[in-house]
Structure formats: C-alpha cells, structure tokens
Amino acid sequence: MEDEDIALNSVLGLELNRVFFAVCETANKQKIIEFARKVLESERPKLVDSVSPEGPAG
C-alpha cells in the first residue's frame, strides 16, 4: 500500500508540475501553489503519525 501511495504521489506531483507550467497567468500560478500547500499541510499530520522514533514506518 505504501508503494502505491508513493507512486500516486509521484504521478500527482508530475501532473501538478505540468499544469503549473502550462498556466500563463501569475495569479493562477499562485492559486496552484496555495492549493498544493493546503494539500501538503493536510497530509503532514498523517506523515508525522506514520513515522516512529526509529525512522519511517515500513
């Protein structure tokens, strides 16, 4: 399951990168950046919960 999550995140990151560079208007690029930050912040508590003191959960 973790490998599937990593693969999905990689695909989503590449697609977000593609969209970012396809957009011409700076204001729209800023909206993309803000959206990505919100997604990362919402995922951060999950990441903290999945990491043990010995390292990443596996």
The more confident residue out of 43 and 50 is 43
Check residue 12 and give its pLDDT.
Answer: 85
| pTM for this entry | 0.56
pLDDT band at 22 (very low <50, low <70, confident <90, very high): very high
Mean pLDDT, the chain, rounded, equals 81
Please tell me the distance from the alpha carbon of residue 27 to that of residue 21, in angstroms, as a whole number: 13
Q: Among 2-6, 7-11, 46-50, which is the least confidently predicted range?
A: 46-50
Check residue 27 and give its pLDDT.
Answer: 92
Q: Where are the chain's structural domains?
A: 2-52
Number of alpha carbons in the 13 Å side-chain half-sphere of residue 10: 6
Please tell me the distance from the alpha carbon of residue 12 to that of residue 4, in angstroms, as a whole number: 12
* The two structure tokens encoding residue 39: 């997604």
Q: Which residues, other chains included, contact 33 with Cβ-Cβ below 8 Å and sequence gap of 6+?
A: 20
Please tell me the distance from the alpha carbon of residue 4 to that of residue 25, in angstroms, as a whole number: 33
